[in-house]
Structure 1
Amino acid sequence: MILYRNNDDLMYKIFTTTLQGEAQDWFYTLPPQSIQSLDELSLVFTKEYSSYRSIKKKSDHLFNVKKNPKESIRDYVKRFKAEKAMIVGCNDSIARVAFQKGLPPDHLLLRKLI
């Protein structure tokens, strides 16, 4: 590893393979191309987990996630997925129902899902 410490691309790939559980879920919720260097990744990761206190959320927490009136469906899905990623062992059936309940009753996607 010492030989490759100046190769950000390689270090980045190796770093991501060391993540597990909540940290791995957190990593995959980062927006594409939002991290420009290994130093920036280290800083963001440290900020996220240095004061991190694991508050265990359960699947029913997802019922609190609602689509905002001015929010695009894409942003709602992204936000919902980020919340779901923070729940270890999230129940997919509950997540599906919570996602639907988070949509406005007159939303076209909700009608298609039903």
Structure 2
Amino acid sequence: MYEWMMTSLKLVKRFLCTYFPISLDGNAGTWFKTLRPGNIYNFSQLKYLFIMNFMQLRKHKGDSHSITGCKQKEGASVREYFTRFTNTTLDVLGHDEGLIAGDFTWGLLSGPLSQKLMGKKPQTRDELKEKVEHYLR
């Protein structure tokens, strides 16, 4: 039984290695075809080359400065600003909930919502969302 499993695994690996290149399309397929035969010795090397080639396509993760720098633009609605702000905060890991609400208020143009949020500042992302949605209704 063990010998049969090992033979099966070898066949599966051989199959995957043989058909992997034809499963690539687009930029990945084009890039793979430019690799010279015999220059890659193991999967780790292939992985490294792939990452180095396609790293610039990776979405940039923001930091706390991207949240603080997110401001409502002149002419932008509160809904547009809230959507953009929310998307910005999703890219930042580990940012304090209370600071997120404060940063939103700080970036908001002066108006009825900013006055309302200054009075009783939301402490969490959910409270902020609730207050903004209530204002938008």
TM normalised by structure 1 equals 0.49
More helix by share: 2
Bigger RCO of structures 1 and 2 (CA < 8 A, at least 6 apart): 1
TM normalised by structure 2 equals 0.42
